[in-house]
Structures are given as C-alpha cells and as structure tokens.
Structure 1
Amino acid sequence: MSELIVQIEEWLLQYGVLGLILVAFTESSFFPIPPDVILLPLALARPEEAFLYASYTTLASVFGSLLGWYIGRKLGRPILRYFISDEKIAKVEDLFKRYGALAILIAGFTPIPYKVFTIFSGIAQIPIKVLIIWSFIGRGLRFFLEAALVVALGAKAKPFIEENFTLITLIGGVTILLLFIIYRIIQKKKKTL
C-alpha cells in the first residue's frame, strides 16, 4: 500500500501547483495523502514561491473542507449508524457542537486526519462560516509554518520537518487546547463575580 502511495505522490508532483491544489482539496474530505508531501518539494525547488504555494495549499484545503462538510451532512450519519449507536453519535455530535471550532483548529494544524473533522462538522451541522474561519486559521498556520521553515532553513528544512514537524504541531495543538481551557476558566470566573 505504501508503495502505491509513493507512486501517487510522485505522479501528483509532476503536475506541480495543480497537483498540490488537487491533493490539498481532496485530503480535506477523503484522500489519504497529506498536501505536505507535494508542498515541501515544490517549496524547496523554488523557495521564493514557498509562501505562494502555502497560500494555494491553504485555499484548496479550506475549499476541500466544504466537500468534507457536505459528505458528513449527507452521508455521515447513515454510515456511522452501521458502526455505533444513535446514542453515541448524539454524544459525539454534542461535543462537536460545543467544541467544534477548537477541534477544527487543532485538526487543521496537527497531523490528526483533518478529513475526519470536516466530515464530523457536517454531521454536527457546524455552521459553514465556523468551518471556513477555523480551517483558514489552522491550515494556514500549518502550511505557512512549513513555508517559513523552507525559507529559513533551505534544503535542511525537509529533514527537519520530517523529524520534528509532528512534535511541533502536537505541541502547538496542546498549547491551543491549554489556552482554550484557561480562557474557559477565566470566563466562568467572570460569570460568578
């Protein structure tokens, strides 16, 4: 299976920006290959275009999240019913309605499969505006960080990202979560005063 994925990556890379946009769009809703595998080689080949490539990747990913939302809205619940009970679906849906923006932000930034969260946003009927805003922030942070690393580190960026990016994004995701928890605690204290 991994050999097939490598072949698909190489094939998509031949199409340059078009391949990048296609991967970024489809990965946000159903495709298993993350856009980073196309973004990095393109950015390394032309570092002066790295931020432009990050822009294309972010925009395509956000538009792809709308397809994920639509898939979740139309197909998500009937498919989930084959695997889990309506009661469990309702619990997950409630959690997603309360923390969906945070989930979208963290999934957009970290290596967590983003498509799962775009599909769940459709199942939970998260407003499209919320999906778009938090997708732009999360995905933009991720792809522009990669572009910045390419510009700053040059050829050393690829091994650095391969070795450290998962850890960096997970630390970033945990930081976002902690900031959110602190914010909620402060909000609760303000209500009790």
Structure 2
Amino acid sequence: MLRGLYDWTMALARRKTAVWWLAIVAFVESSVFLVPADVLFLPMVLAKPHRAMHYAFVATLFSVLGGIAGWFLGHYAFESIARPVLEFYGKLHAFEELQATVNYETIVLLLITSGLAHLPPIKVVTILSGAANISLSLFIISAVITRGARFFILAGLLQKYGEDIRHFIEKRLGLISAMAAAALIAVYAAYVFLK
C-alpha cells in the first residue's frame, strides 16, 4: 500500500498540472487546510530537480498569499469563519491557549517557527496574527522570509542530493514509514504525559 501511494504521488508530481495543485495546497494550508504543501512539493522536486527553484517560488508565493488570507480571517472574520475552521481541525483550544499567553514578540517568534517548521501549525499562527492585530506588513515580511527559506533550502538540498535521497526512500520506504509513525506516537505520548 505504501509503495502504491509513493508511486502515485511521484506520478502526480510529474504531471503538467502538478504546479497548479502545489499552488492550491500551499495557499489553503496556510489558512484553512491541514495537509502541508511539502507533501506535494518534495515529490515534485524529486521528480523534476531542474524545476526545483520554480517550485520553491510557487510554493512560497502561494503560501504567503494563503497566510495573508488567514490573517484577514483572524482580523475581520474570526467569529464567523476562523473559529469554526479551528474547531473543525481541533485547533481551537491550542489557538485560545496561544492567544491568552502571547504578546507581540511571542507572535513574531511563532511566525518564524511556524514558517520554518510548521510549529505551531501555520494556519493557527496566521489567524492568531490577524486576531491579535499584528501589523500586516510585518506578517508579510516574516512569511516571505521564513516560508521562502524553508522552500528554497529544501529545493536546493533536493536538487543537489535528490537522486540519492530518492533511491534511499525507495529502498527503505517501509522502514522510513515505521520510524515516522513511531516518532509521531512518541510526540503524542509526550504531549499527553506533559499535559
């Protein structure tokens, strides 16, 4: 099953429409969607390494535009739209905890960590930034720098080492999946224990 999913993702990444799907996923993941753009970005770069920087540009641009949409949701439509979205994904509690404990400097730090590593999830921070009246220009600058850094660094690394990485993944797909699942379980167990 994993092999079929991997092959399907790689085949999708080779399609002419893949760049449009990347733009859509990058946009919606920054404001309302759970799946990160990396899920499509990585196989696209592995499938066509010569297009890596183009894909990084598309992912960055649409991730920032989606972040701006999330900021507007938090700023102008929190109760009517953003709250139900956060409730749907089970992120309302995390959002409310962040909102109760953060100040301006903390939100700027969260913008950096969510842009670089999705911690906390980007959609939570973008909506929080709008709800907390963080300057839209500061938000855009931090999003361009952090999200751009993530996508362009990944693109560069995959462009340089992608063939080796792809062969490594293809040979050890089951082991990698098992390790990823174990890591997720460990993180969840630590979260439950510390809570």
Bin of the TM-score, shorter chain as denominator length: 0.5 to 0.7
After superposition, where does 1:8-157 map in structure 2 within 5 Å? 13=13, 14=15, 15-76=17-78, 79=83, 92=99, 95-112=102-119, 113-157=121-165
Query: Residue type of the partner of 2:102?
Result: L
C-alpha deviations, 1:21-48, integer Å up to 9, x for none?
Answer: 0000110001111111111121112111
Query: Residue type of the partner of 2:45?
Result: A
CA contact (8 A) 1:12 1:19 kept: no
Task: Evaluate the alpha carbon distance shift between residue 65 and residue 156 of structure 1 in structure 2; reply closer, same or farther with a 3 A threshold.
Answer: same
Q: Give the drift of 1:157.
A: 3.1
Show structure 2 runs of 5+ residues with no match. Answer: 181-195
After superposition, where does 1:152-163 map in structure 2 within 5 Å? 152-158=160-166
Q: Give the drift of 1:76.
A: 2.6
Identity, % of aligned pairs? 33
Q: Give the drift of 1:91.
A: 7.7
Show structure 1 runs of 5+ residues with no match. Answer: 167-193
**SS of 2:25's equivalent?**
helix
- CA RMSD, 1 decimal: 3.3
Q: TM-score, normalised by structure 1?
A: 0.67
Q: Give the drift of 1:150.
A: 1.0
Equivalent pairs, count:
154
Task: Evaluate the alpha carbon distance shift between residue 98 and residue 45 of structure 1 in structure 2; reply closer, same or farther with a 3 A threshold.
Answer: same
Q: TM-score, normalised by structure 2?
A: 0.67
Task: Evaluate the alpha carbon distance shift between residue 114 and residue 11 of structure 1 in structure 2; reply closer, same or farther with a 3 A threshold.
Answer: farther
